[in-house]
Structure 1
């Protein structure tokens, strides 16, 4: 089972067209290597309070953001290796704490507070978060097809391409099939550039020449805003009936 990990990096997001993605991947061949897993299906359960406190604070507060999620690669079985992640963003720097466990143990820990995760500093930080948000529970399922690459000379440089982002607020179980509502428009590719320090010149030149600019797109945040919008529309419809 994979050891616990700590990440500290800058993450920048861009919305690309399929044509821009193809052009960038061609340039990347000189500087980057495909991840060992290649293209993979990433499945996530985002945990939140019944009032969606974490995502509301994330949307309202641009200085500090916090998310707690459970991740597997593909549809899970009880024995599947799963990753419990605490992701915090402060002043544009992302701090991610991650520990791994079987999917069954991870769900027992997160949903029932069962003492089934080996004790560690990261586990203590997760314990604190769970005690702070006592009503925390699975709130949203999010999956996507991802292609990941890392730098040949700088392994802290990572570029990922996410497509077919699906979300749902029912059947909140990673052992269920991959399905849901599409989050992106046809032909859109959410691209994330993750760096430990400065953006490499070749990449900065490509983005500048193609007029590609950063976006503050959040998968969970965008899906949550869709829920709010639809709830508002339903209220207006009921008032006129």
Structure 2
């Protein structure tokens, strides 16, 4: 069974291509690559972020409050309607991140979000998390608002997890996980987002690596970045349609994964 509750601290760093290659090589001497990375190089994560019609949750998040929360639907690769996906609440209080999630079939998740009615009990669901999501859906009147996908490399060592995300793309139209992981680029080509996630303090060897490569933590949110640049979505969509003469834009990711069976 996959882990459904996480409590950890997260630090984020923006890297260029050269720094990514150097730091990734050093980290792999101390950490273990995710099993799926060993076989495929990268795996793709796709998300639907839910918000109010006036973007209340992301606006609050960008104001840097002591407490903030978000709701997202997550899949690995491009799921089919009967595929298992994760519906999860991510909360942050004074720097500590708490993530609570449950497994649903994609059609169940869509119906839950749209109708805001608790789904019929299934053995793969975490009912406590289902109830919390149900409350949140009603409290804020949430609906899918934005799609964000990216290609990831992940490394592990004890309670330490470090991820590298690249090719981050997003759209505010065609909001379905099963509809493909295309969209406008969120970062410049060759930029990487490194996230350091730990339940306790960082090991000294990692502190030395961060110091050696002059890496400093920054405040960065994929959804926040998307919201601040969302007006570019319409222009991007028009330009892409011109390129393909009205046909659907093809997937931007060179690391397409249909579905990752192992839970992350």
- What is the TM-score when the length of structure 1 is the normalising length? 0.89
Q: Is 1:64 the equivalent of 2:67?
A: yes
State the partner residue of 2:237: none
Counterpart CA distance in 1 for 2:192 and 2:172 is 23
Q: Check the 8 A contact 2:147/2:172 in 1, yes or no.
A: yes
Partner Cα distance (1:228, 1:169) in 2: 10
Which residue among 128, 132, 143 is the counterpart of 2:139? 132
Please list every run of at least 4 consecutive aligned residues from structure 1 whose deviation after the TM superposition is greater than 4 angstroms: 228-231
19 and 4 in structure 1: CA distance in 2 versus 1, 3 angstrom threshold: closer
Moved more, 57-66 or 138-147: 57-66
Shift, 1:114, TM fit = 3.6
Residue deviations 1:218-241, cap 9 Å, x none? 00000101126899xxxxxxxxxx
Contact residue 150 and residue 166 of structure 2 kept, 8 A: yes
The DSSP-based 3-state class of the residue aligned with 1:70 is strand
* Among candidates 110, 123, 127, match of residue 130 of structure 2: 123
Pairing partner for 1:89 from 88, 92, 95: 92
Once residues 67 and 148 of structure 2 are traced to their aligned partners in structure 1, the CA distance between those partners, rounded to angstroms, is 22
1:149 is displaced (CA, Å) by 0.9
Number of residue equivalences = 226
Q: Summarize the alignment of residues 80-229 of structure 1 with structure 2, pairs less than 5 Å apart.
A: 80-116=83-119, 118=121, 120-134=127-141, 136-151=142-157, 154=158, 156-227=159-230
Is there any run of 5+ residues in structure 2 with no aligned partner, and where? 235-264
Whole-angstrom distance in 2 between the partners of 1:178 and 1:130: 25
* Correspondence for 2:12: 13
Higher strand proportion: 1
CA distance in 1, matches of 2:232, 2:169: 18
Check 1:3–1:15 CA distance in 2 against 1; reply closer, same or farther (3 A cut). closer
Provide closer, same or farther for how the CA distance between residues 64 and 19 of structure 1 changes in structure 2, counting only shifts above 3 A.
same
Q: Distance in 2 between matches of 1:84 and 1:52?
A: 19
Change (3 A) 1:195 1:4: closer
Classify the secondary structure of the residue corresponding to 1:87. strand
Aligned residues of 1:16 and 1:188 also touching (Cα < 8 A): yes
| 1:55 correspondence with 2:61 | no
SS state at 1:172 partner: coil
- The answer to whether the 8 Å contact 2:71/2:90 transfers is yes
Distance (whole Å) between structure 2 residues aligned to residue 95 and residue 56 of structure 1: 20
In structure 2, what is the equivalent of residue 22 of structure 1?
21
The C-alpha deviation readout for 1:149-197, integer Å capped at 9, x for no partner, is 111xx1x210100000000000000010111000011211001000010
The equivalent position to 1:76 in structure 2, one of 60, 63, 79, is: 79
Instruction: Work out the CA distance in 2 between the residues paired with 1:230 and 1:106.
Output: 26
